[in-house]
């Protein structure tokens, strides 16, 4: 009988609490970054939908010319020291399949801080303040203690455009949703030479609008090579593009935040805009794997 009385009491309490106005209840409103309303309806998708969405975004862009504000930073959170450089104006030119040119200007005076270009295989980097012209392969086999020598235009390209999932890769979908986060994460993997699964990338989509939100590129050992975050997407004609991009290269100990000021997409860019020749009197330096010596002639202008 005692057990029945206890059970009956619990039932009465539960029924009483159905009238929420008579119970002590704390409600929390969960807000989502980027949502247009305080309580957005989260969107649903399957892996195949997100794979297609990433491919469509990548395929929609053939070339672009962008003016950006850059905030480069040296150091890492792991070493508890990061130095930022404010108000750097930058110009980025891109053309498929892999041509890219990036020019950075010093604050205020707007003199050239660096000028670098790549065709997808080799790169050139001119640093006027050091009067050095670096030439090498995009692959960094052995990172240099001099962070400047680890800088590659290709790192920016890998972050700026999220490449489609390769046919030989497999994608696993994770729904990462809690009070603070609402993302779908595609984990792309392939089978290594020893038969083990190798994690290549994670591609994040916001469940608020299914836009790309983040991309993490890893090496075969699982170390992060690039961590890129995308936000404030804007429509340019028929193409969406994020106007705020954060790129972190923890292994190379540098990062950069890009805020797009102006961008022209799919307007066409001539060949000469991607030509960076060694300026007269500068010191040539081969870094990484050896590349052919570049003739010493005036560098081409990217157009600003």
Residue 25 resides in a domain: no
* pLDDT band at 52; cut points 50, 70, 90: very high
pLDDT at residue 291 tops 50: no
Residue 238 resides in a domain: yes
Which residue reads 């003739």 in tokens?
Answer: 295
Q: Residue 75 — left, alpha, or beta (φ > 0 → left; ψ -120 to 50 → alpha)?
A: left
pLDDT of residue 107: 84
- Take residue 274 and report the two structure tokens written for it: 């991607």
Residue 164 resides in a domain: yes
Q: What is the spatial distance between Cα 153 and Cα 73, in angstroms, rounded to a whole number?
A: 16
CATH code for the domain of 275: 2.50.20.10
Which region among 17-21, 124-128, 180-184, 292-296 has the lowest average model confidence (pLDDT)?
A: 292-296
- pTM score of the predicted model: 0.79
Number of folded domains that form the chain: 1
pLDDT of residue 81: 54
Q: What is the spatial distance between Cα 137 and Cα 32, in angstroms, rounded to a whole number?
A: 42
Residue 40 resides in a domain: no
pLDDT at residue 115 tops 70: yes
Residue 122 resides in a domain: yes
pLDDT at residue 2 tops 70: no
Q: Across residues 209-216, what is the average pLDDT?
A: 97
How many CA atoms within 13 Å lie on the side-chain side of 159?
24
Which region among 30-39, 43-52, 143-152, 165-174 has the lowest average model confidence (pLDDT)?
A: 30-39
Cα-flanking dihedrals φ and ψ of residue 139, to 5°? -80, 130
Residue 171 resides in a domain: yes
The residue ranking higher by pLDDT, 229 or 35, is 229
Q: 153 lies in which domain range?
A: 53-287
Residue 17 resides in a domain: no
Residue 26 resides in a domain: no
């Amino acid at each position: 009988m005692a057990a029945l009385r206890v059970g009956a009491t619990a039932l009465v309490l539960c029924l009483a609490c159905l009238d929420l106005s008579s119970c002590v209840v704390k409600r929390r409103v969960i807000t989502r970054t980027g949502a247009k309303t305080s309580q957005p309806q989260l969107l649903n998708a399957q892996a195949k939908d997100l794979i297609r969405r990433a491919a469509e975004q990548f395929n929609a862009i053939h070339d672009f010319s962008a003016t950006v504000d850059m905030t480069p930073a040296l150091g890492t959170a792991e070493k508890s020291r990061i130095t930022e450089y404010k108000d750097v104006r930058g110009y980025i030119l891109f053309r498929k399949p892999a041509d890219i040119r990036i020019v950075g200007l010093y604050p205020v005076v707007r003199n050239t801080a660096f000028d670098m270009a790549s065709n997808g295989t080799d790169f050139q980097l001119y640093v006027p303040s050091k009067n050095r012209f670096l030439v090498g392969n995009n692959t960094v086999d052995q990172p240099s203690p001099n962070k400047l020598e680890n800088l590659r235009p290709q790192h920016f390209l890998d972050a700026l455009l999220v490449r489609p999932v390769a046919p030989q890769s497999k994608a696993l979908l994770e729904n990462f949703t809690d009070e603070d986060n609402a993302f779908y994460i595609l984990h792309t993997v392939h089978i290594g030479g020893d038969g083990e699964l190798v994690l290549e990338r994670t591609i994040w989509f916001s469940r608020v609008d299914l836009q790309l939100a983040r991309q993490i590129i890893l090496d075969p050992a699982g170390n992060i090579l690039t961590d890129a975050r995308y936000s404030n997407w804007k429509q340019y004609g028929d193409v969406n593009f994020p106007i705020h991009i954060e790129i972190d290269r923890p292994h190379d100990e540098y990062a950069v935040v890009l805020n797009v000021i102006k961008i022209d997409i799919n307007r066409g860019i001539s060949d000469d805009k991607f030509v960076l020749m060694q300026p007269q009197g500068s010191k040539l330096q081969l870094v990484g794997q050896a590349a052919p010596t570049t003739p010493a002639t005036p560098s081409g202008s990217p157009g600003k």
